[in-house]
Chain A
Amino acid sequence: MEKISIDPITRLEGHGRIDIFLDDGGEVANAYLVIPELRGFEKFAEGRPVEEMPRITPRICGVCPEAHHIASAKACDAVYHVEVPTAGKKLRELLYSAFYVADHTVHFYILAAPDFVLGPDAPPAERNILGLIHKVGLDIGGKVIASRGKAMDIVGMLGGKTIHPVGALPGGVSKAIDEEERAQIEAWGHDLVDFGLFSLQLFKDAVLGNQAYLDMILSDTYTTPMYYMGLVDEDNKVNFYDGKVRVVDPEGNEFVKYRPEEYLDVVAEHVEPWTYLKFPYLKKVGWKGFVTGQDSGIYQATPLSRLNAADGMATPGAQEAFEAFYETLGGKPVHGTLATHWARLIELLYAAERLVELATDPGITDPHVRNIPTATPDEGVGIVEAPRGTLTHHFVTDERGIVKKANLIVGTTNNYAPISISIKKAAQAFIHKGQGITEGMLNRVEMAFRSYDPCFGCATHTLPGQMPLEVRILDTSGELVDVLRQNM
């Protein structure tokens, strides 16, 4: 059959490449994840009315348009110095909670669960949702599709469109909900809480119930102590929509807690010659290379880091799961990268519980959902927790609200350095001189970064499906020794 390379038809993610460099002894010396980068967003944004940003930025990424939509809307609130009415905030958070349920569902069931339920050495043709259904039963596929569908219907109801929402505007949202809509959201919300509990139970049975998997989660290969970042509310509980960004050190002590507009005081970006993507790090600790620990400014922004950076969850079921998480994994903070899958499910339950809280809030049907901006626009920063990490949108405008400068730090970019470090560690553990490289080994390296749920859709481009991955192995002189390809 004719082989056709179809890079640009791919829709969501970048075509990732891992370069593994061997030392003179043939062992892994270094490993880097290389991805292409989209160019020119800042220039594209310049000269456009800032209120268009909540509709434009969701187009950057096919994975989490909702996160960009809300982050841009919050940045616009700040640009226009307008306070969003309480009901407007709640409706935005309601939409966002529904989005989180859908997004975390996709990641766990499509990407994470097959590794554990079918095993990391299962052939790739079986190690997917279809294999999962084959093993566990068709019912699970129905649950996944139905739950995600309800969550996305809520996004569509509140955002005006399911795929690229348009509901959030500077100063609030475009429409209130009536009692009928509220009741529908509440009913679906209860179903989603049940689904969150079901998912946690599945994780407990399939993963925690298997000592080999628990050992893998706790193994040194997948352990990288570093700084952890996450948005928290005033009680230091995890919050996806609003609050301050808290960073804890590898011991779990608070390092800094900052407001969105202070982000440039905290985060700087390092540049490497082999990639256009930048590596954010904590300015006050400094860039010390691709190393982690107390003295390295590298931090991660993931479901795991959000839990590590918080004192707990703001809803009861999620709080209970939070406590079980740390009790099982040996206390706080947890450094095991693979534990991110469990943290993601705790967040899924939190999002569903929060959705019900908001849907049953007496003020949620208040028709006053927007304050019209009247102040002169100038500059603003909006931050939300995207599923894949802290998302920062920063716009500077002239007095007419025309964008003069735009800066975005997207979720996965925060994790670029940690991902590189995790890949190197896994490659060093599984790839050795003289051993043939198996699909299972490659998958174990891939598992190191899959747990981050990396989404390079913001930084690059591509299509639906299993991530196309090329692994190049190079010797000390940079000569190509071997190339392995997956899904290409």
Chain B
Amino acid sequence: MRTLVLGLGNPILTDDGVGIRVVRAARGCCQPGEVGFAEASVGGLRLLDVLEGYERVIIVDAIRTPGGKPGDIFWLSSSQLYASLHSGSSHDLSLAGALSLGRGLGMTLPDDDHLRILAIEVEDVLTFGEECTAAVAAAIPQAVQAILSELPLDPSILSDHGRER
């Protein structure tokens, strides 16, 4: 089963880039070719370009929940994605819509059971900056661990996880 770990976010928008940072760190813990890793600052149909060809996908992204504490980590299933995502663009499809369209057109895409989202509660996504805020940066190793535990990897190579590269 072809697997992709996809970091979403804007790497120059403070905490918004946390998904990308987590994926970069996770990639550093894996042998080349075992699992696909990608990062993107886009959505909608552009995401479909990235997801096509994979049967299993883990998306890592920033989240803000009411009263949430920066650094908290959530696993979301695709059913929660459909129910609650602010699938929000005036210019493109939602991720759910893009997936429905792609599947309808016969593209190889993950089914609902094989699309999971790891979301990290964030603090600041409106200020340009290359570093995450302290609480969010501190959550990166735990997020990396959470992803690695989901991947079909040889445990002997997982000695160096959590370090951002």
Q: Does A41 interact with chain B (Cβ within 8 Å)?
A: yes
Q: Does B89 interact with chain A (Cβ within 8 Å)?
A: yes
Query: In the bound complex, do residue B64 and residue A7 qualify as a contact, i.e. CB atoms below 8 Å apart?
Result: yes
Contacts of A63 in B (CB 8 A): 42, 89, 91-92
Contacts of B8 in A (CB 8 A): 9, 11
Main secondary structure, interface of A, reads: loop
Query: In the bound complex, do residue B41 and residue A163 qualify as a contact, i.e. CB atoms below 8 Å apart?
Result: yes
CB distance from A484 to the nearest CB of B (A): 15
Q: Does B76 interact with chain A (Cβ within 8 Å)?
A: yes
State which of B25-33, B43-51, B143-151, B152-160 sits at the interface with chain A: B43-51
A-contact 0/1 string along B86-114, CB 8 Å cutoff: 11111111111110111011000000000
Contacts of A43 in B (CB 8 A): 128
Task: Find the A residue at minimum CB distance from B121.
Answer: A8
CB distance from B43 to the nearest CB of A (A): 3
Q: Does A477 interact with chain B (Cβ within 8 Å)?
A: no
Contacts of B138 in A (CB 8 A): none
Query: In the bound complex, do residue A465 and residue B125 qualify as a contact, i.e. CB atoms below 8 Å apart?
Result: no
A59 with B11: in contact, given A2-B80, A3-B84 (CB under 8 Å)? Answer: yes
B-contact 0/1 string along A2-24, CB 8 Å cutoff: 11111111111101100000000
A138 with B93: in contact, given A152-B49, A164-B41 (CB under 8 Å)? Answer: no
B-contact 0/1 string along A32-61, CB 8 Å cutoff: 000011111101100000000000100110
Q: Does A488 interact with chain B (Cβ within 8 Å)?
A: yes
Bound Cα distance A138, B103 (Å): 12
Chain B: interface residue count, which band?
35 or more
A145 with B105: in contact, given A11-B43, A461-B13 (CB under 8 Å)? Answer: yes
Cβ-defined partner of B46 (8 Å) among A36, A56, A62, A466: A62
Bound Cα distance A130, B61 (Å): 26
Query: In the bound complex, do residue A15 and residue B88 qualify as a contact, i.e. CB atoms below 8 Å apart?
Result: yes
CB distance from A59 to the nearest CB of B (A): 5
Q: Which of B63, B65, B93 has the most CB of A within 10 A?
A: B93
Bound Cα distance A445, B11 (Å): 34
Q: Does A473 interact with chain B (Cβ within 8 Å)?
A: no
Cβ-defined partner of A467 (8 Å) among B11, B89, B128: B89
Query: In the bound complex, do residue B90 and residue A450 qualify as a contact, i.e. CB atoms below 8 Å apart?
Result: yes
CB distance from A190 to the nearest CB of B (A): 22
Contacts of A5 in B (CB 8 A): 64-66, 84, 86
Q: Does B85 interact with chain A (Cβ within 8 Å)?
A: yes
Bound Cα distance A449, B101 (Å): 25
Contacts of B15 in A (CB 8 A): 8
Q: Does A118 interact with chain B (Cβ within 8 Å)?
A: no
A-contact 0/1 string along B47-87, CB 8 Å cutoff: 11110000000000111111000000010100110011111
Query: In the bound complex, do residue A110 and residue B44 qualify as a contact, i.e. CB atoms below 8 Å apart?
Result: yes
Query: In the bound complex, do residue B91 and residue A106 qualify as a contact, i.e. CB atoms below 8 Å apart?
Result: yes
Q: Which of B11, B15, B61 has the most CB of A within 10 A?
A: B61
Q: Which of A40, A138, A142, A163 has the most CB of B within 10 A?
A: A163
B-contact 0/1 string along A145-162, CB 8 Å cutoff: 100110010000000001
Contacts of A3 in B (CB 8 A): 83-84
Bound Cα distance A39, B43 (Å): 22
Bound Cα distance A162, B49 (Å): 9
Query: In the bound complex, do residue A488 and residue B45 qualify as a contact, i.e. CB atoms below 8 Å apart?
Result: no
Query: In the bound complex, do residue A465 and residue B45 qualify as a contact, i.e. CB atoms below 8 Å apart?
Result: no
Query: In the bound complex, do residue A142 and residue B105 qualify as a contact, i.e. CB atoms below 8 Å apart?
Result: yes
A468 with B86: in contact, given A8-B64, A63-B92 (CB under 8 Å)? Answer: yes
Query: In A112-169, which residues have CB < 8 Å from any B CB?
Result: 128-130, 133, 138, 141-142, 145, 148-149, 152, 162-164
Contacts of B102 in A (CB 8 A): 145
Query: In the bound complex, do residue A463 and residue B90 qualify as a contact, i.e. CB atoms below 8 Å apart?
Result: no
Query: In the bound complex, do residue A464 and residue B92 qualify as a contact, i.e. CB atoms below 8 Å apart?
Result: yes
Task: Find the B residue at minimum CB distance from A141.
Answer: B105
CB distance from A481 to the nearest CB of B (A): 23
Bound Cα distance A41, B130 (Å): 12
Query: In the bound complex, do residue A462 and residue B92 qualify as a contact, i.e. CB atoms below 8 Å apart?
Result: no
CB distance from B120 to the nearest CB of A (A): 9
Query: In the bound complex, do residue B128 and residue A9 qualify as a contact, i.e. CB atoms below 8 Å apart?
Result: no
State which of A87-95, A366-374, A452-460 sits at the interface with chain B: A452-460
A466 with B101: in contact, given A6-B86, A11-B8, A62-B46 (CB under 8 Å)? Answer: no
Query: In the bound complex, do residue A465 and residue B44 qualify as a contact, i.e. CB atoms below 8 Å apart?
Result: yes
Query: In the bound complex, do residue B65 and residue A463 qualify as a contact, i.e. CB atoms below 8 Å apart?
Result: no
Query: In the bound complex, do residue B83 and residue A12 qualify as a contact, i.e. CB atoms below 8 Å apart?
Result: no
Bound Cα distance A76, B129 (Å): 22
Contacts of A129 in B (CB 8 A): 93, 97, 101
CB distance from B92 to the nearest CB of A (A): 6
Q: Does A264 interact with chain B (Cβ within 8 Å)?
A: no
Q: Add 9 more A-B contacts to A6-B119, A12-B91, A38-B126 (CB < 8 A).
A: A6-B64, A10-B43, A10-B87, A43-B128, A63-B91, A129-B93, A149-B49, A163-B46, A455-B91
29 contacts between A and B (CB under 8 A): A4-B65, A6-B64, A6-B84, A8-B16, A8-B64, A9-B8, A9-B63, A11-B41, A36-B126, A38-B126, A38-B127, A38-B128, A43-B128, A44-B128, A63-B91, A63-B92, A133-B101, A138-B105, A141-B104, A141-B105, A145-B102, A148-B45, A455-B91, A457-B89, A461-B10, A461-B125, A462-B88, A465-B97, A487-B88
Question: B-side interface residues toward A, CB under 8 Å?
Answer: 8-13, 15-16, 40-50, 61-66, 74, 76, 79-80, 83-98, 100-102, 104-105, 117, 119, 122, 125-129
